[in-house]
Amino acid sequence: MFDQATVEEFRSAAVQRGRLLIDGSWVEAADGATMDVVSPLDGRVLTTIAKGTRKDADAAIKAARVAFTDGRWSSLPPAARKLVLLKWAELIERNAMEIAVLGVRDNGTEIAMAYKAEPLSAAATIRYYAEALDKIYGEIAPTGPETLALVHREPVGVVGAILPWNFPLMIGAWKIGPALAVGCTMVVKPSESASLTLLKIADLGLQAGLPAGVLNIVTGEGTVVGAAISESMDIDVLTFTGSGPTGRRLMEAAARSNLKRVYLELGGKSPNVVFADAPNLAEAAKVAAGGIFRNSGQVCIAGSRLLVERSVHDAFVVELTKAMRGIAVGDPLDIRTGAGAVTSAAQLDRNLGFVKEAHSLGRTVVGGARIREETGGFFMEPTIITGVEATDRLAREEVFGPVLAVTPFDTEEEALALANGTEFGLAAAVWTSNLSRAHRMVRGINAGVVHVNTYGGADLTVPLGGLKQSGNGHDKSLHAFDKFLDLKTAWIKL
């Protein structure tokens, strides 16, 4: 049940020290080192997690390789894998509130969003791929009468996954679900800033019947554990969600090692384009505010650039400001809170740096201060910055915070040029009543997802992937299977 009383049951619960999951056992780091988990709610140490070493990563990779090679998971009948995954999804769902509260204490997402977007989303994703795994078929190619050509789809082997801190379960499940469903084994490296919920659901996976070595979790620093995974000669596919610079390093490591395939979901500077003929400007303003300020802007597809037709710009900003002020920033474990904490002191400082720079350039800034300092936590006012020019750093670089850059435009052609004027291409939105214009903009905007008269709406059945420097490959939908399957041709003479 989702209510405040249920949240309070877990608010102050003791948090177990996080250990590594390697070959079905929970173990300490090889050298016994740990890392503090600092809660963004109050700046205090919540618990510690194991600070994995390269030796630990190598042990996990070896366990995953052995588990894949001996077929304890990949050779199971699809129906048997399905039963385990469905049981796992059920256990996650059954413990959803406990998991959600733990996650909020770890990374600061408001509970109303975290409950749905983390454990419930992860359970739904694992269930989706469990139900789909026995619908994957090979092919018979149309060759001549003297040959039979078969196309087999086989699991790639060992998958490495490096996950972000903003939605570790949702995004983690996007990778874990399809990879395990087709029979791969995995080594997962959570973010240093959000490991606790992944460790929790991994334990539930063991309870559901995942064999030892099939899913391994190694916490620790990216420069150590992440580097070991990316440089390994025994990782067949690497999937990553995070920053562009890290993505580049992972691709370089793949090139230096075994040429493993690398799938990247990187940053975004997503444009939200509002034309004067939008069906409902007040609704567009409300949705635009939610599209950047929920989870304190810490959403990969956040609509962080608002492009507004000049004839309605001023009136729209008034509505937008009204909508922004209606979003309550506060205790992330209060179900009424509309935006929670920024995940770390470092991220808060980065956010505030962009605001300071906007002031120095003479832009108009509404909001943008650090708030709730008395709690010891990391909280920031939602921020609207108008008069932003296309050359401003704020218009080109991802903030990953509650900071919205607003720029006016005069023509459809100018709007399209501005929308495409960054190195990113993850998401976008267009607000218009003109059906032809909507189709032109969908076709013209270089982004993996383009919303029309909405923002952020998506279903597990449709893919998410970026263009340009927002990455490659797709999470979600049946297309996610493509990352974790190899095609093998059998050419048989009759």
Crossing angle of helices 310-325/281-293, nearest 10°? 60
User: Cα separation of 218 and 60, whole Å?
Assistant: 7
User: Cα separation of 308 and 296, whole Å?
Assistant: 22
User: Cα separation of 385 and 362, whole Å?
Assistant: 10
Pair of tokens at residue 483: 């990352």
Pair of tokens at residue 76: 């199971």
User: Cα separation of 226 and 176, whole Å?
Assistant: 17
User: Cα separation of 106 and 75, whole Å?
Assistant: 37
User: Cα separation of 377 and 381, whole Å?
Assistant: 13
Residue 187: its H or E element: strand 185-189
User: Cα separation of 119 and 99, whole Å?
Assistant: 6
Residue matched to tokens 């269930």: 127
Length of the chain, in residues: 494
User: Cα separation of 182 and 307, whole Å?
Assistant: 42
Q: Is 427 in contact with 458 (CB distance < 8 Å)? A: no
Active site residues: 265
